[in-house]
Structure 1
């Protein structure tokens, strides 16, 4: 990346949190962030605070100002939709006065169903996942077409919470939640209802695939006819369920992908075995739990007590933050359109695209010089790399929301309308060409993405700001922060799952068996590196799951490895042959600054596909020769890793 100023005039890495007592050779993460980690106190309304949260808080304040500035919006306009949802969430008195009336019509439909076929139809119509979920996805083996995907569903917690003995306290908290919200909703026998529903959910969870198996893109692609799927679970009322899901012609569902076939069989058996009365209780209590945050205090307070136990939260966030969040979650694109008008950092877009070019050049050079890849696999990898597209900022075309009806003063009714609108729009995709330009994120989202079925990386507008990107920062800083994230997202195209897709986004094996084996030998070493890692302050049994986090760990390693290479390319353009990598590594470590409650950290270990922040910073650099050279890392230093254990690609 070229630069018009001398590096001395540009901002270096943020060293405000440095702990000089910690050597970078022993702990780069705490060397850069140690003082901040000691001094920063988590606010009582946060379970974690990271570099991403630092930017998200800034964006949240901007969104609040935008929303509250929408005075007297035109009726039926997107501005009116946004303001009405925000005001309805802010009006706590109105929420109390409405009580449970926003859900009473749904309770009535559940109670009125005379048998299981009718209840299956009602379940599909409800704004919740139900026992079996279905969505419209891009066909992973034909990325030009949409296909229905059927998946496991039906739980209020992750499946591991129902079965692991060490999570008994979390189960007890969930049991308390169910009883409390049943009581708050006015249901008869809340204690008995909670016991029965928890026992049913535990039975549902017994058929769920765990998080590691569920992320396997091969195992979850099971294409079959509707008839074949019905044969997996003949007890389930499939036709009634589909009629509640959509009014689209049934022939559009002649072919489906079943993500977890054994679960479908399990769920069908349960549907046949469990009596109608319990299914009614389960659906009603699931509805209350789904909308608990937006119901009267008797229910919302119980929900917050549960969140406190699960995440270690001490204080409920201010109502305005919840109001911004509910608008962002449900009217995100409409809000994003207003956000980019005011806050899109346009100067960052060219900078990001230049970094993308340098990263792709680095990846190309890496593939061309990869000794472990055969010529055939190498050529296929380069072909895929060349086809990667980048979305930066915001969509060129916005969705039309004129058909969405938001009811002033009726929050849950409006959220139900959003759910129905989006479900209908999703179903209408079936039988139409795939919109390859469709965005997978809102512009105000502080994150970055890779979509395998599009072979595309996405960097929303809100992400393009410090500490990730800064037009006034030294090149090394932007390469250690923003470019490493770009490299990470490109790396997902070549991680343990993304590498199974070709350049057109199709699930297609383009590897020779020998090259795949060589790749998996490397990923096995990465699993072995991460499996024993325990976050500071947690018990020894609270260790990283190397298989669950494998894809993200590969992307982290590839991302930083390629960011270093891209930095060399950019520096060579400027006439610098021996760049100083230390500012790049310092920016990298600053990227992962993070503090969280122990409860939240423990929860993420069971479900998050990312490694904890300290290991994203430290474990990656242990593999890279540039780190050893930059800091003179030697045997005996804590970050030293024996050469035969190191992995690069």
Structure 2
């Protein structure tokens, strides 16, 4: 989701099918916006192997009195330099192809200087009003989740109480972490970075990528996405929902848009991430982010039985791939399917809560759109949701943990009685089956 290492092809798409770098809302190359005012590639022209510019055999301050680098002479050091050389050979070959040049360079800068890049994006394309409205949406979704938990009949009181506690203790980071906007902290973050030599820059990048594994969990730190990324995630280990500023923009969210559209798009994204806290993986982590099975034996059994309903449902859904009909793997996509289902239900319920809490705002922000007067606002909520996964499945990656678009839309709404009532779907029709799967 965060892009690839330098020895791989250009950054993969994120979970929403977009590359945050390609979606740069500033329309500028992050290299041009380098806050240090220097070219991160320094004196190393593109198309040259950094290792060729500074052969490891030359004398350097790191060499001992015999002219040998102790790290290079060790078995670990030899493997490190051999792998780095191989990595750089591939990298240099790709840099010569201008098709990869931008992606490789921007990926390197994004990894090292993500907060600096995000600061410029936030200043230009994100407002405090958007952040506050998104926080309000998160609170409504959390409230809707607690209401749902209280109504689940098969949960034992012990499990129910702890599930509610986990939602209550869940922390949300909306838009960005506050330290990004502190010039002093931002300068201190980058003051020791050497970017005059690309090889040194690579070392810094590697340390940055793997150094997180040596740190304690910081609930205020972004670990999987950047604030300017178009994506969102739930962190099992910190019990946090992370909603970057990059996704709080059209088409997922806009302070100028109607609330039923914002909840049908951005609200479902937030609800999806919250539900991951209680999917087939997240349910084994407690409110503090520790691996801890807090489910009673009875509830554990019930959860697995209800999960099987989803597995069977999605196994029966087919999609077109390479002009062939293929069945979705319901077991492999279970976690994301549970999140999709829970996310849609919570987003709708949260929207209804917002209508009750602020009738004056509701009247202003829930008007019908021109040309859609024949639809109810409830129908438009579902239509907005469907548009978020409008895509072709011909190039769907069968190893993706998410189901293809048809599963993420039809596979969800068929489990909603309200959807069937809203669109007058006949009983036992394809969009209103008698057997509906639901956990959250």
CA contact 1:544–1:611 (8 Å) conserved in 2: yes
CA contact 2:233–2:243 (8 Å) conserved in 1: yes
Match of 1:403 in 2: 192
For residues 595-640 of structure 1, give each alpha carbon's deviation from its aligned partner in whole angstroms, at most 9, with x where no partner exists: 4763xx2xx212x221122321221111111211111122564333
Distance 1:300 1:636, change over 3 A: farther
The alpha-carbon deviation at position 379 of structure 1 amounts to 0.8
Distance 1:300 1:69, change over 3 A: closer
Distance 1:375 1:361, change over 3 A: same
TM-score by length of 1: 0.55
Distance 1:647 1:554 in 2: 8
CA contact 1:581–1:626 (8 Å) conserved in 2: no
CA contact 1:634–1:640 (8 Å) conserved in 2: yes
Match of 2:91 among 264, 279, 294: 294
CA contact 2:47–2:92 (8 Å) conserved in 1: yes
Distance 1:518 1:412 in 2: 55
Distance 1:646 1:365 in 2: 19
Alignment of 1:110-509 (within 5 A): 118-123=74-79, 125=80, 284=82, 287=84, 290-291=87-88, 294-296=91-93, 317=99, 319-398=101-180, 400-407=189-196, 410-420=197-207, 423=210, 426-427=213-214, 429=215, 434-440=217-223, 441-509=225-293
Stretches of structure 1 that go unaligned for 5 or more consecutive residues are 1-44, 71-77, 107-111, 127-283, 302-315
Distance 2:356 2:316 in 1: 39
For 1:296, what is the secondary structure of its paired residue? helix
For 1:486, what is the secondary structure of its paired residue? helix
The alpha-carbon deviation at position 574 of structure 1 amounts to 4.7
CA contact 2:253–2:266 (8 Å) conserved in 1: yes
For residues 270-311 of structure 1, give each alpha carbon's deviation from its aligned partner in whole angstroms, at most 9, with x where no partner exists: xxxxxxxxxxxxxx4x546644563036x866xxxxxxxxxx
CA contact 1:48–1:596 (8 Å) conserved in 2: no
The alpha-carbon deviation at position 589 of structure 1 amounts to 1.0
Distance 1:648 1:118 in 2: 55
Distance 2:332 2:351 in 1: 30
Distance 1:426 1:55, change over 3 A: closer
For 1:489, what is the secondary structure of its paired residue? helix
For 2:234, what is the secondary structure of its paired residue? strand
Match of 2:408 in 1: 616
Match of 2:382 in 1: 585
Corresponding pairs, count: 402
The alpha-carbon deviation at position 540 of structure 1 amounts to 5.3
The alpha-carbon deviation at position 327 of structure 1 amounts to 1.6
The alpha-carbon deviation at position 564 of structure 1 amounts to 1.3
For residues 88-112 of structure 1, give each alpha carbon's deviation from its aligned partner in whole angstroms, at most 9, with x where no partner exists: 7xx8xx3334476269639xxxxx9
The alpha-carbon deviation at position 329 of structure 1 amounts to 3.1
For residues 526-566 of structure 1, give each alpha carbon's deviation from its aligned partner in whole angstroms, at most 9, with x where no partner exists: 11122243432336585432222211111111110111111
Match of 1:224 in 2: none
For residues 391-445 of structure 1, give each alpha carbon's deviation from its aligned partner in whole angstroms, at most 9, with x where no partner exists: 01211225622222112xx434422232135545754x3xxx6433222232111
For 1:530, what is the secondary structure of its paired residue? helix
For residues 197-228 of structure 1, give each alpha carbon's deviation from its aligned partner in whole angstroms, at most 9, with x where no partner exists: xxxxxxxxxxxxxxxxxxxxxxxxxxxxxxxx
Stretches of structure 2 that go unaligned for 5 or more consecutive residues are 1-9, 58-67, 181-185, 367-375
Distance 1:86 1:486, change over 3 A: farther
CA contact 1:624–1:648 (8 Å) conserved in 2: no
CA contact 1:60–1:324 (8 Å) conserved in 2: no
Distance 1:551 1:292, change over 3 A: farther
Match of 2:306 in 1: 522
For 2:24, what is the secondary structure of its paired residue? helix
The alpha-carbon deviation at position 572 of structure 1 amounts to 2.6
For 1:467, what is the secondary structure of its paired residue? coil
For residues 437-488 of structure 1, give each alpha carbon's deviation from its aligned partner in whole angstroms, at most 9, with x where no partner exists: 2222321111111111111101111111011111111111011101111111
For 1:457, what is the secondary structure of its paired residue? strand
Match of 2:32 in 1: 68
Distance 2:410 2:110 in 1: 34
Distance 1:413 1:95, change over 3 A: farther
Match of 2:340 in 1: 556
Distance 1:542 1:48 in 2: 22
Distance 1:546 1:326 in 2: 36
For residues 305-364 of structure 1, give each alpha carbon's deviation from its aligned partner in whole angstroms, at most 9, with x where no partner exists: xxxxxxxxxxx7474454333321332223223332333232211111111111011111
Distance 1:619 1:347 in 2: 34
Worse overlay, 444-453 or 627-636: 627-636
Structure number with higher relative contact order (C-alpha < 8 Å, ≥ 6 residues apart): 1
Alignment of 1:67-86 (within 5 A): 67-69=31-33, 79-80=36-37, 83-85=38-40
